[in-house]
Structure 1
Amino acid sequence: MGGGIEMLPPCILQDILYNGRLGPVDLASLEASSYMFRAASGIAPYRFKSIAELAAHHSCQMHPVFENFPPRARLELLARCEGNWKLVLHFLNSLQRSSGLSVGGSGRDVLVAAGRYHTLLVDRKGELYACGTGGSVLGQNPAVSNLQRPASIPLPAAATRIVQISANFNHAAFVTESGQVYTFGDNVSCCCGVGESGQPISKPTLVTTLERNPCQQVSTGQGYTVALTRNGELFSWGCNSHGQLGQGNTQEQFRPRQIEEFNESNPVAQVSAGICHTLAVTKSGQLFSWGYGSNYCLGHDDFLTELRPKRVEHGGFDDLFIISAAAGDEHSAAIDSLGYVYTWGKGYCGALGHGAGTDQRTPLVVAALKSTRAVQVVARRRKTFVLGDNGTVHSFGWMAYHSLGVQGKSASDTVVSPQSLDLALHGHKVSTIAAGMYHTLVITRKGAIFGFGDNDSSQLGPVSVTNETPLAVRIPAEVFSCVTGVVQD
C-alpha cells in the first residue's frame, strides 16, 4: 500500500500537530522529514514559514507560562528567539521543567533538593530518599544522624506521588500530586507547621492547616516555610525575626497563615524563601520582596526591613515582566520574560556576576549572560547558578569546597563573572539545578544526577572517582545512580 503521512486525512494531521504532545524537537523532525510540514502557511498574522511553525505557535498560545505574558512580552520573546516559534516553545518548556512548580508536571521526573549538609531525592517511582547529615530531616529513626548512602524515607499511605520538594537548613517540605503539603525536620520556630515548636518531626507529616488549600509549591527558608496554593495564594509560617513571613509583624507563626497581599485578584506564580527574606513573582509579572533588608537583597534601593510584601520597581523592574526569582542568603536574582538575568544584594565573592565584588542596591542585568536565554536561577550561600534553555549551566561567586564546579580554581577562590560548566559536565544537557550550602547537584535531561562540592557529610553519597578528596568532589561526577537507575557514559 503506497502513500505516507501526506495521505492522512487533514483532520488527523491537525490532531497530530495540535494535541500538545509534540515538542519543538518533534516538530523540527517533522519539518525536516516531510515536505508537507515544511510547506509555508499564509495564515495571518505571522505568515508562518511552515506548518510545523504554525503548530509550534499553537502550542505556545496554549502554554500555561505563555498565557500570562502581555502582548509586548510575547512579541519581544519571539524576536529574541529569532522569529522561530519552535525556539519559543523550547524556552517555555525548559522554563516549566526547571521551575520547581508542580503544575503541569507529570510527577514522573527525578527531583532533588539540597539542604545544609544533606540531600533529598525523589525517584521516578515517587519514592523519597535522603543522605548526609541533618538528624530529623533525614526522615529516619531519631537515633540516625548520618547516612553515607541514600536511604528510603517511609511515606504516609495518604501521601500520593511527590511532585515538588524543597530543603534548606534542617527542615524540608514537599507537595504531593493531590496538592497536600508534608514537612519534616528540626521544627525550629515551628517551621514544619505541625506540633510544638522545637519538637523535631522525624517523619513526613501532613500540614493539616492547608488540607483545604491544594498547593503547587513550597519553599523552605532558614527556620520558616512558604507555600503557594493552586489559586495563587501564599501561606507562611515559622521564624519571623525580620518579617520574612510578610504578616506585618515579627512574631513567630506556628501554623500556616495567609499573606493578605496575594489573592485571586493578585495571584502569585512562584515564591522563593531565603535566609530571612522572601521573593514572590505574581502572574502579572511583578516581583515583590519582604523581610531583612540591610544587605540590599530586597532591591528597594535602601537597607530597610519590610514586614509586608513590597513591589520591586527599581532597576527597570516597573517595566519588565518577571517570570522567576531566587532568594539567596544575602543576595537575590530574577529572570525576565526574555530570559535575561538580574542580581542584587551583597556582592562579595562575586555572587552577583557583575565582574566585581561590590554590592548592588537595585536589580542589575548580568551583562555577561545577555546571550543566554535563562530558564532557572539558583542563589545560595555567596554563589549563583544560571541554567540556559540550551541545557548549559553558568556559575559565579565563592568556590567554597569547589561547589561552583569551575575548573582550575582552588576551594578558596572567587569567580566574579559567569563561567560555563559545559566542559566540566562533559556536554550533558541539564534540566534542573539544586544547591545546598556548599554542595551542588544538577539533573540532566536524561535523568542522571551530577554532584560537586562539599561531601564531608556524605551529602553527595558515595563517590568513587579520582577527583574526590576527603572533603569535596572537585570535578562534577555522576551520583545517586543507585536511586535514578541512570548511568551516563
Structure 2
Amino acid sequence: MSGLANDSFQVISISGGKDQTLALLKSGEVLGWGGAGSGRVTPPFVDICSSFKAADAKPVFVGKLSGCSNISAGFGVSLVVTEQQQTLIWGFCQVGIGGIALFSEEPTLINGVNNISKVVAGQFLYAAIDQAGKVYTWGLNTDGALGRPSAQTNASPEAIASLPEIQDIAIGDNFMMVLTKDGKLYGWGSNSAGQLGLGHLRAASTPETISLPIKINSIATGSTHVLAVSSEGKVYGWGSNNFGQLGSSAHPYIDNPKLISFPEKIAAVAAGMHYSLAMATSGKVYAWGWNGFGQLGLGDLKARNTPTRIPNLSGVRAIAAGESHALAIGKGQLLGWGSNESGQLGNAVIKQMTPNPFLAIA
C-alpha cells in the first residue's frame, strides 16, 4: 500500500458527503478526510458533536481497499465498488440500514448487490447500478423514495423492475433521479419543492418521466433541487430555490425544468445542501445558492442567485459537492472550500471561503 509522506497521488474521482471527503486513486485505493464515513477508525461510539482536532485533517487510507472503481460519500456513510464489482459500506448511521444493524468505519460487504458499476449514498437511502444498467435501492422508504413496492419502512437491496437501462443516479432528501442510457430522466420519492420536475408537488412512489426538450448527459441533486446538463452543454434546474440555487430569485421553488443561463458551455454540475456548482468545458467553475460556510468559494458568506465564476480557479477537470463543502480536481492539486468543521478539507480553516489546495496530485 502507498505511503502518505511526500507522495503525489493520481486522483481519478472525488466525492463529498455530510462532513467527509473521499478520493479514488488510480491504484484503486481510497483516501478519506473528515468525520464519519471518511474511513478514520474511531472508538465504537462516535461523538458527532466533538470538536475538530488537528490530527483529523490528515488523510487516511480507507480499510485495505485496492482495485476499486467507484466511490460515493453520503450522510456520514460511504460506499465503494470493489474490484470484484461488489459493494462495501462504512461510516456511522443512527439506524440499521438494509439489514446492517451495526455500522463501522471498516468497509463491510453488502449482500444482494453484485456486478455493480456505480454506487450512490444519501441520508438513510442508498442505490447501486449494475453492469446491465439495473438499479438497486435500499434504506428508508419515506415518500416512496425506494421507487419500488416495499412493505418495509427500512428495506434491503432490491431492483426496480420498471426502469429501462440506467447510466447514472443521484439521491436527494428522500428522492432519487436517474439518467437512462439514451439521455432521459426518471424521478421518484418526495416532491415537496417540485424536485421531481413533474409540474406539481405530489410525491411519486414509482419512477415517473421528467419532460425535457433535449438529451441529458449528467445530473446532480442537492437536498431538494436538481441540476441537469444537456448534450449541448446547457444546464436545467428545478426544485427548491429558496437560496437562489436554481439561478434566479423569482420563485421559492420551480416544479418544471428551467434553463439556467451561462456565458459558456458547461461540462458537469454538482449540488450540495442548498447550493450549486458548474464546471465549464474551459475548466472554469461557477457557484450559486446558499453560502453559509463559504462553499461558493467567492471569499464571503453571501448567497448568490445567479451563477458566479470563482476567481483564480481554472484548469479544473472534476468537481464535487458535499453538504456544505465543495471540491475540485485542479492542475496538480486537489482543492476544497466551504465547511471544514471535521477536517474534510485538510488543514484549511473552519470556514474556508476560497479554494484551498490540500493534496498534491499527479
Tell me the TM-score normalized by structure 1: 0.67
Q: Residues 456 and 139 (structure 1 numbering): CA distance in 2 closer, same or farther, change over 3 Å?
A: closer
- Return the match for 2:326 from 432, 436, 440: 440
- Write the distance in 1 (CA, Å) between the matches of 2:62 and 2:298: 33
* Residue 125 (structure 1) shift: 3.0
Query: Counterpart in 2 of 1:311?
Result: 209
| 1:242 partner SS | helix
- Write the letter of the residue equivalent to 1:390: S
Q: Deviations over 1:172-199 (max 9, x none)?
A: 10113442211112244444x4532xx2
Q: Residues 133 and 344 (structure 1 numbering): CA distance in 2 closer, same or farther, change over 3 Å?
A: same
- Return the match for 1:477 from 331, 351, 356: 356
* Residue 210 (structure 1) shift: 1.6
Q: Residues 189 and 259 (structure 1 numbering): CA distance in 2 closer, same or farther, change over 3 Å?
A: farther
Q: Residues 109 and 178 (structure 1 numbering): CA distance in 2 closer, same or farther, change over 3 Å?
A: farther
Query: Counterpart in 1 of 2:186?
Result: 288
- Return the match for 1:127 from 11, 21, 29: 29
Name the one with the larger strand percent.
2
Q: Deviations over 1:366-403 (max 9, x none)?
A: 1x21x432221112211011111211111110111111
- Greater RCO (Cα-Cα under 8 Å, separation 6 or more): 2
Q: Residues 195 and 246 (structure 1 numbering): CA distance in 2 closer, same or farther, change over 3 Å?
A: same
* Residue 272 (structure 1) shift: 0.5
| 1:440 partner SS | strand
Percent identical pairs in the alignment equals 27
Where in structure 2 are the equivalents of 1:422-433 lying within 5 Å? 423-425=311-313, 428-433=314-319
- Write the distance in 2 (CA, Å) between the matches of 1:404 and 1:276: 25
- Return the match for 2:107 from 204, 221, 239: 204
Name the one with the larger helix percent.
1
Q: Residues 187 and 457 (structure 1 numbering): CA distance in 2 closer, same or farther, change over 3 Å?
A: closer
- Write the distance in 1 (CA, Å) between the matches of 2:342 and 2:183: 40
Do 1:137 and 1:186's aligned partners in 2 also have CA atoms closer than 8 Å?
Answer: no
Do 1:190 and 1:254's aligned partners in 2 also have CA atoms closer than 8 Å?
Answer: no
Q: CA RMSD in A?
A: 2.2
Q: Residues 254 and 185 (structure 1 numbering): CA distance in 2 closer, same or farther, change over 3 Å?
A: farther
- Write the letter of the residue equivalent to 1:365: L
- Write the distance in 1 (CA, Å) between the matches of 2:250 and 2:342: 32
Greater radius of gyration (CA): 1
- Return the match for 1:450 from 331, 335, 340: 335
| 2:243 partner SS | helix
- Return the match for 1:396 from 288, 303, 311: 288
* Residue 253 (structure 1) shift: 4.1
- Return the match for 1:325 from 219, 222, 227: 219
- Return the match for 1:231 from 118, 125, 132: 132
Do 1:189 and 1:224's aligned partners in 2 also have CA atoms closer than 8 Å?
Answer: no
Q: Confirm or deny that 1:420 pairs with 2:309.
A: yes
- Write the distance in 1 (CA, Å) between the matches of 2:355 and 2:327: 9
- Return the match for 1:382 from 274, 277, 282: 274
Where in structure 2 are the equivalents of 1:208-357 lying within 5 Å? 208-211=111-114, 214-249=115-150, 251-262=152-163, 266-313=164-211, 317=212, 319-356=213-250
- Write the distance in 2 (CA, Å) between the matches of 1:194 and 1:202: 17
- Write the distance in 2 (CA, Å) between the matches of 1:480 and 1:249: 43
- Write the distance in 2 (CA, Å) between the matches of 1:442 and 1:305: 34
Q: Residues 274 and 232 (structure 1 numbering): CA distance in 2 closer, same or farther, change over 3 Å?
A: same
Q: Residues 190 and 247 (structure 1 numbering): CA distance in 2 closer, same or farther, change over 3 Å?
A: farther
* Residue 138 (structure 1) shift: 3.0
Query: Counterpart in 2 of 1:16?
Result: none
Do 1:173 and 1:184's aligned partners in 2 also have CA atoms closer than 8 Å?
Answer: yes
| 1:396 partner SS | strand
- Write the distance in 2 (CA, Å) between the matches of 1:291 and 1:190: 21
Q: Confirm or deny that 1:151 pairs with 2:60.
A: yes
Query: Counterpart in 2 of 1:114?
Result: 16
Q: Residues 340 and 112 (structure 1 numbering): CA distance in 2 closer, same or farther, change over 3 Å?
A: same
Query: Counterpart in 2 of 1:37?
Result: none
- Write the distance in 2 (CA, Å) between the matches of 1:194 and 1:449: 35
* Residue 218 (structure 1) shift: 0.7
- Write the distance in 2 (CA, Å) between the matches of 1:183 and 1:429: 33
Q: Residues 401 and 141 (structure 1 numbering): CA distance in 2 closer, same or farther, change over 3 Å?
A: closer
- Write the distance in 2 (CA, Å) between the matches of 1:474 and 1:186: 28
- Write the letter of the residue equivalent to 2:244: G
Q: Report how many residues are paired.
A: 346
Q: Deviations over 1:70-95 (max 9, x none)?
A: xxxxxxxxxxxxxxxxxxxxxxxxxx
* Residue 424 (structure 1) shift: 3.1
- Write the letter of the residue equivalent to 1:453: G
| 1:208 partner SS | coil
Structure 1 unmatched runs, 5+: 1-107
- Write the distance in 2 (CA, Å) between the matches of 1:137 and 1:459: 8
- Write the distance in 1 (CA, Å) between the matches of 2:151 and 2:30: 34
- Write the distance in 1 (CA, Å) between the matches of 2:248 and 2:154: 37
- Write the distance in 1 (CA, Å) between the matches of 2:318 and 2:144: 30
Query: Counterpart in 1 of 2:100?
Result: 195
- Write the distance in 2 (CA, Å) between the matches of 1:293 and 1:219: 20
Do 2:57 and 2:346's aligned partners in 1 also have CA atoms closer than 8 Å?
Answer: yes
